[in-house]
Structure 1
Amino acid sequence: MKQGTDHGMAERKNALGQPIGEELAGWSARPRPPRTPMEGRLCRLEAFDAKRHAADLFAAYRIDTEGRNWTYLAYGPFETLEAFTAFAEKTYTGEDPHFHVIVDKETGKAVGVASYLRIDPACGVVEVGHIHFSPLMQGKPIATEAMYLMMARVFDELGYRRYEWKCDALNAPSQAAARRLGFTFEGVFRQATIYKGRNRDTAWYSILDSEWPALRQAFEAWLDPENFDAGGQQRQRLADLRPRT
């Protein structure tokens, strides 16, 4: 049920003639994201279970032998399975961040994680973050499907108004991914935080509920098996399927 904003409405003013935001008639706090699985054609997102996921994730992350994927995360890398498992059992099981493990349906193995965080049911705002895709899914359709499934849950299932993506402003691949997925750049918060003993300027991106229907259509067209040739190469880019803004 859509409870979002019609951004095409005329500007509203109060009795003093001051501009004010649109009244959200009927708005109510949204549910928190559940731990139920999200099912796609290529992947399944599910709650972390150390016995089923820890070893697979550790092995998948170790394929990145230089540890590049940990550069812009506030933790890691981990040298042993025991150290990673202890970290994952503590970090991947909390309520906020609210993690899901991405399982490749073809192999049945865990290949990455992503989370909802800064969850604000009252305002219908949630961020996606702690995204850690192993080399087994980077640059592949499974990565796009995982992000699509998380968006669909937020907008279609839960009725949130705003979906955020934030990253280190120096993290060029993350910023490129946000733009490809249809997020709108909103600016940089300078000296926003400190992690691993260094400064972080944070780049902010968002998708609004009013933008989601067109984005959903683009994702579904891109993920359609007919969009890929016999060699697995895309016929149309995701960016070309999105409406021009």
Structure 2
Amino acid sequence: MNLVIIDPSKDAVTSRGVTLSDRRFIHIRDVHQVVQGDVLKVGLLNGLLGLASVEHIDEESVSLTWAELSQCSPQPLPVTVILALPRPKMLKRVLQTLASMGVKDIWLIHSYRVDKSYWSTPILNENSLYEQMLLGLEQSGDTNLPTIHIRKRFKPFVEDELPALVEGKRAYVAHPYQALPCPPSELLPTVLAVGPEGGFIPYEVEKLNAAGLSSLSLGQRILKVETAVPVLLSRLFPVI
């Protein structure tokens, strides 16, 4: 945890500081091993970053006092990521990666090769998604929470919503067959679709192409979703 994120809607925040007793406290106590007077990097969720000093710490909680809150979060990537729902264990890792890399607009969609049982995972409940986003933000030192949209039907999403998302942007679907090589990196508004393990089926690729997404290849090697996502983002954008 490189940044202690404080959520004013959930934490007991005062004008002087905040007291924590959850997993953040345990990490501060056991990993950072702070003592009274130490300084930690903190940030208000969707707000400014800065410093806070440890006023008190014991076996139950840590009290932090604001020292300075004046720094803005890193610039977000101008990208919308559309992700065919991965299996639950991978989903947690991918969501944290997206949040840590500055992605703020995430769409989880269904596709033919997504097992229907994946949609019943408790990871998709609001609190769990919130926790995965926070873990990614804490890693990268960002406070701006991504937005996650869930669409359980492929065709209505692609036909009714995707064209508006694509309009005026460069748009790609990661698909290694009959595809263009990855273009030079540019900080441009982008839509990026990544399929499930095994990829989108031909019908889905055709629908995505028809909606304005060009097929994109990283080369001959077939990567796992959790590997392909950061590779694609780092290839498409010059600044992460």
Of structures 1 and 2, the one scoring higher in RCO (CA 8 A, sep 6+) is 2
TM range (shorter): under 0.3
What's the TM-score once normalised by structure 2's chain length? 0.25
